[in-house]
């Protein structure tokens, strides 16, 4: 016999937060303070997200060694979460992947995977705090063993206490590059090259806006100056890069703005060019997106406080727009306050104004940072036909251009259907944006018209067998 | 450095990753394509593999090899098969005692 559940107005509102990085943690703490017990779902084994990622048991090191200047912030976020857990103010589901979201009348249904077992969970309201991944761009040799993203080179250090080589070359277009150079120097590995694909002049021009966050600006300047003082000056305005090697990386060739080419021996390369929001779940929840010219990527639409275009779905942190950990903390709290406000729970007007002011300052800084590190269009302008664009299935630029020329796809989803670009395991995380750039260049349309790959469930690979054992909790 | 580690390095190319300081956690014994190897508690499968050799897996669409890329569970370039059946993402799954990892293209 099935007993009818309590009527909707009596049943307690179930709030699910997806992601336990800085945005997810502050959102959870804010809800808990107002008497709401959220379910916090995170893929990792421990909270912190990527930025404050905690090493697995057995690989622990002192926070100062792992997080450097940010050790106090990391420790505070970890501590905040631990307190919520021990006071049973949250329902924490670690090592759990949300691989689909569907709308089910006024509620949402989440498909989960934990320990190989499939489950579904219904939610009334969702806060997406899904973070970001490195923006990868293809270059010759980028699929060789020994080539990683900058984020990967940092995770290797932070989470595993390993470096990506003894002679490493670091290449980037964003503030992660000077930070990582210093992190490698701190463990006794002096990078053999530190290359920035953005021009130095762009940083000078952006100086005024960057001064909106003096502490952050100072930290960046310190890292850059310290790298130079230790004999690892960052070379700006690098025009092209090529990883050398047969079965693994043995060197790097690059061209500088003066037209000269350089070749150095190295056994590890980390290269990525800013970050991209992990917005697949927002897409599946039905959120509308818009193209952001400054960061040259699609972002889920949201209002000033984090409401998406779908009622009941809120978005905070790098999963909404790249802003970094400090912004994520503020935005997580702000989205949680908006959620409470929408549900009729009184919140502090003063606090909301404080958050709004802080985030506006951060947003001026972010705009300046984006002009300091513009999208490196020159790296995608002349991609050779033989270069692999889709790492998963080995699809080359030539194959894509052929598909474009013969079948005239009108957007990147059509290009996917014709070429399989983005159909592999990574679901286009590493290649979708590059496919759009190629399509725009070849078809002569704008990057907005080229569009973005639609998210498809499961957003990450799940074992087929897991679908056989389903637990439902509603 | 164990004798096994040295032998693996000689036969299968030097390690790709470098430990920045010795790990004091317990030793884990596992196999890579049947060859015995060691790692430490707290190592991911990817770390364990790349401290013993220079690749994580054969690339299934060609004669090359891959060694992971993003290390945060996004690029999906480090899936390997365990001899016991399941496929695991090497950058997020931890190495365990007696684990038998297949990095070869046509595994099992």
pLDDT in tens, A216-225: 999 999 999 9
Q: Closest to A392 (Cβ–Cβ): which among B18, B76, B87?
A: B76
Q: Looking at the domain A383-450, which fold is it?
A: Arc Repressor Mutant, subunit A (1.10.10)
- What mean pLDDT do residues A314-328 have? 97
pLDDT of residue B106: 57
pLDDT tens profile A273-300: 999 999 999 999 999 999 999 999 999 9
Q: Which of A116, A130, A141, A156 to mutate to test the interface with B (most CBs of B within 10 A)?
A: A156
From chain B, the residues in CB contact with A43 under 8 A are: 73, 92
Contact between chains at B72 and A392 (C-beta distance less than 8 A): no
Domain B3-17+25-102: give its CATH architecture: Roll (3.10)
pLDDT of residue B4: 57
Nearest C-alpha neighbor of A48 from the set B77, B72, B91: B72
Tell whether the model's pLDDT for residue A357 goes beyond 60: yes
Quick one: what percent of chain B has pLDDT higher than 70?
Answer: 85
Contact between chains at B76 and A160 (C-beta distance less than 8 A): no
- Residue environment code for A331-354, b if the CB has 16+ CB neighbours within 10 A, otherwise e: bbbbbbbbbbeeeeeebeeeebee
Report CA dihedral (A83, A281, A443, A407) to the nearest 10 degrees. 140
Contact between chains at B77 and A391 (C-beta distance less than 8 A): yes
- What mean pLDDT do residues B57-84 have? 95
Query: Distance, in angstroms, between A386 CA and closest chain B CA?
Result: 14
- What mean pLDDT do residues A255-282 have? 97
- Cα(A202)–Cα(A19) distance, rounded to whole angstroms? 34
pLDDT tens profile A102-154: 998 889 999 999 998 999 999 999 999 999 999 999 999 999 999 999 999 99
Confidence of residue B105 (pLDDT cuts 50, 70, 90): confident
A163 near B CB under 8 A: yes
Nearest C-alpha neighbor of B17 from the set A248, A363, A77: A248
For B48, nearest residue in chain A (alpha carbons)? A160
For B72, nearest residue in chain A (alpha carbons)? A152
Q: Looking at the domain A136-273, which fold is it?
A: FAD/NAD(P)-binding domain (3.50.50)
- What mean pLDDT do residues B61-90 have? 95
Tell whether the model's pLDDT for residue A382 goes beyond 70: yes
From chain A, the residues in CB contact with B87 under 8 A are: 463
CATH match for A15-133+276-347 among 3.30.365.10, 3.50.50.60, 3.30.1300.10, 3.10.129.10: 3.50.50.60
Annotated domain spans of chain B: 3-17+25-102
Indicate where chain A has its CATH 3.50.50.60 domain(s): 15-133+276-347, 136-273
From chain B, the residues in CB contact with A145 under 8 A are: 16, 54-56, 65-67
pTM: 0.94
B83 near A CB under 8 A: no
Please report the ipTM that was assigned to this predicted complex.
0.94
- Cα(A37)–Cα(A91) distance, rounded to whole angstroms? 7
From chain B, the residues in CB contact with A458 under 8 A are: none
């Amino acid at each position: 016999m099935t007993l009818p559940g309590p009527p909707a107005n009596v049943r307690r509102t179930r709030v699910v937060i997806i992601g336990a990085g800085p945005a997810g943690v502050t959102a959870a703490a804010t809800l808990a303070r107002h008497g709401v017990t959220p379910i916090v779902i995170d893929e990792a084994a421990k909270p912190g997200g990527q930025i404050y990622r905690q090493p697995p048991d057995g690989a622990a090191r002192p926070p100062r060694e792992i997080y450097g200047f940010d050790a106090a912030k990391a420790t505070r976020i970890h501590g905040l979460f631990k307190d919520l857990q021990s006071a049973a103010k949250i329902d924490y589901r670690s090592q759990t992947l949300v691989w689909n979201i569907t709308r089910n009348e006024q509620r949402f249904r989440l498909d989960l995977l934990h320990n190989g077992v499939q489950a579904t969970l219904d939610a009334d309201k969702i806060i997406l705090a899904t973070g970001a991944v490195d923006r990868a761009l293809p270059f010759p040799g980028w699929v060789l063993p020994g080539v990683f993203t900058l984020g990967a080179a940092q995770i290797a250090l932070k989470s595993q206490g390993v470096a990506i080589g003894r002679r490493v070359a670091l290449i980037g277009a964003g503030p992660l590059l000077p930070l990582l150079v210093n992190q490698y120097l701190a463990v006794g590995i002096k990078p053999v090259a530190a290359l920035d694909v953005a021009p130095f002049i762009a940083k000078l021009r952006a100086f005024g806006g960057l001064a909106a966050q003096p502490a952050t600006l100072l930290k960046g300047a310190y890292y850059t100056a310290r790298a130079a003082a230790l004999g690892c000056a960052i070379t700006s305005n690098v025009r092209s890069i090529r990883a050398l090697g047969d079965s693994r990386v043995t060197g790097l060739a690059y061209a500088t703005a003066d037209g000269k080419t350089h070749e150095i021996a190295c056994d590890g390369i980390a290269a990525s060019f800013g970050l991209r929001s992990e917005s697949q779940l927002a897409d599946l929840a039905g959120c509308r997106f818009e193209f952001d010219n400054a960061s040259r990527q699609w972002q889920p639409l949201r209002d000033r406080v984090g409401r998406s275009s779908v009622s009941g779905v809120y978005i905070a942190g790098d999963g909404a727009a790249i802003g970094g950990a400090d912004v994520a903390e503020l935005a997580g709290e702000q989205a949680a306050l908006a959620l409470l406000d929408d549900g009729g729970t009184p919140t502090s007007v003063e606090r909301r104004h404080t958050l709004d002011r802080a985030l506006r300052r951060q947003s001026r800084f972010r705009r300046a940072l984006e002009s300091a590190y513009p999208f490196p269009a020159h790296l995608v302008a002349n991609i050779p036909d033989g270069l692999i664009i889709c790492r998963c299935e080995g699809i080359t630029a030539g194959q894509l251009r052929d598909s474009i020329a013969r079948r005239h796809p009108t957007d990147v989803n059509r290009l996917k259907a014709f070429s399989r670009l983005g159909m592999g395991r990574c679901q286009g995380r590493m290649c979708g944006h590059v496919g759009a750039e190629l399509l725009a260049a070849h078809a002569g349309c704008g990057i907005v018209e080229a569009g973005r790959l639609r998210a498809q469930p499961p957003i990450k690979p799940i074992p087929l067998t897991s679908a056989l054992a389903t637990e439902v909790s509603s | 450095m164990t004798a096994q580690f040295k032998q693996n390095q000689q036969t299968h190319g030097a390690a790709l990753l470098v430990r920045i300081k010795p790990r004091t956690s317990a030793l884990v014994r596992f196999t890579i394509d049947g060859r015995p190897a060691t790692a430490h508690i707290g190592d991911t499968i990817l770390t364990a593999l790349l401290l013993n050799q220079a690749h994580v897996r054969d690339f299934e669409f060609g004669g090359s090899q891959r060694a992971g890329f993003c290390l945060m569970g996004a690029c999906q370039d480090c899936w390997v098969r365990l001899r016991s059946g399941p496929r695991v993402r090497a950058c997020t799954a931890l190495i365990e005692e007696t684990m038998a990892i297949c990095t070869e293209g046509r595994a099992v």
